[in-house]
């Protein structure tokens, strides 16, 4: 499968997980490509974000979306990206977020819920999701679970 790993990452944590996914998916024979979502500005609302990089998802069979938790919710840059996407119809979508706080209920779960809703609004059926708590002892296990889950998906 051709898999797009679409990442918003300011300080590199989410990108690190994306790189793990890229490596493992490539090792299993997939074509995995990381593409970054970036913004020109730093607005607090998705409607005011100006994206300077908006990866095109059309050529991918499967999409992995990764973003940080900001202010107990999904980063507004990823929100803006998903709101501006034309369609995710027919795409398998796997979502993950990274957060500093040690428990998923401190923003991670809410961010995933928002990601899934925005994907569903664009016609995708998100098949699974994961939260990485960067400040938790479980961090490595959480990353391994996300990688295993994404690698397990069948065309």
Ligand X SMILES: Cc1cc2nc3c(=O)[nH]c(=O)nc-3n(C[C@H](O)[C@H](O)[C@H](O)COP(=O)(O)O)c2cc1C
Contact set for ligand X, span 51-110 (CB under 6 A): 68-72, 98-101, 106-107
Q: In the bound complex, what is the minimum distance in angstroms from residue 135's beta carbon to ligand X? A: 8
What region, left, alpha or beta, does residue 8 occupy, with left being phi > 0 and alpha being psi -120 to 50 degrees?
beta
Q: What stretches of the chain adopt beta strand conformation (E)?
A: 2-7, 31-36, 38-39, 51-53, 62-70, 73-74, 92-99, 125-133
Of 13-21, 26-34, 84-92, 140-148: span binding ligand X (CB under 6 A): 13-21
| Cβ proximity to ligand X, 125 vs 144, nearer residue | 144
Q: Which secondary structure element, helix H or strand E, spans residue 149, and what is its range?
A: helix 139-151
| Cβ proximity to ligand X, 10 vs 128, nearer residue | 10
Size of the site for ligand X (CB under 6 A): 19
43 is a contact residue toward ligand X (CB under 6 A): no
CA 119 to chain centre: 11
130 is a contact residue toward ligand X (CB under 6 A): no
Say how many Å lie between the first and final Cα of the chain, rounded: 7
Binding track over 18-37 against ligand X, x by CB under 6 A: --------------------
| Phi and psi angles of residue 105, each rounded to the nearest 5 degrees, phi first | -75, -5
Give the binding site for ligand X (CB under 6 A): 9-15, 68-72, 98-101, 106-107, 134
């Amino acid at each position: 499968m051709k898999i797009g790993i679409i990442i918003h990452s300011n300080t590199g944590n989410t990108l690190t997980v994306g790189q793990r996914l890229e490596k493992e998916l490539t090792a299993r024979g997939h074509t995995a490509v990381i593409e970054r979502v970036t913004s020109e500005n730093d607005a607090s609302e998705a409607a005011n974000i100006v994206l300077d990089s908006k990866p095109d998802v059309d050529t991918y069979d499967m999409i992995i979306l990764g973003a940080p938790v900001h202010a107990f919710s999904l980063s507004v840059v990823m929100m803006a990206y998903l709101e501006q996407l034309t369609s995710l119809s027919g795409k398998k979508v796997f979502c993950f977020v990274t957060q500093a706080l040690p428990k998923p209920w401190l923003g991670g779960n809410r961010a995933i819920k928002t990601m899934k809703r925005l994907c569903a609004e664009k016609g995708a059926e998100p098949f699974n999701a994961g939260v990485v708590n960067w400040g938790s002892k479980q961090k490595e296990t959480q990353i391994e679970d996300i990688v295993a889950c994404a690698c397990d998906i069948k065309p």
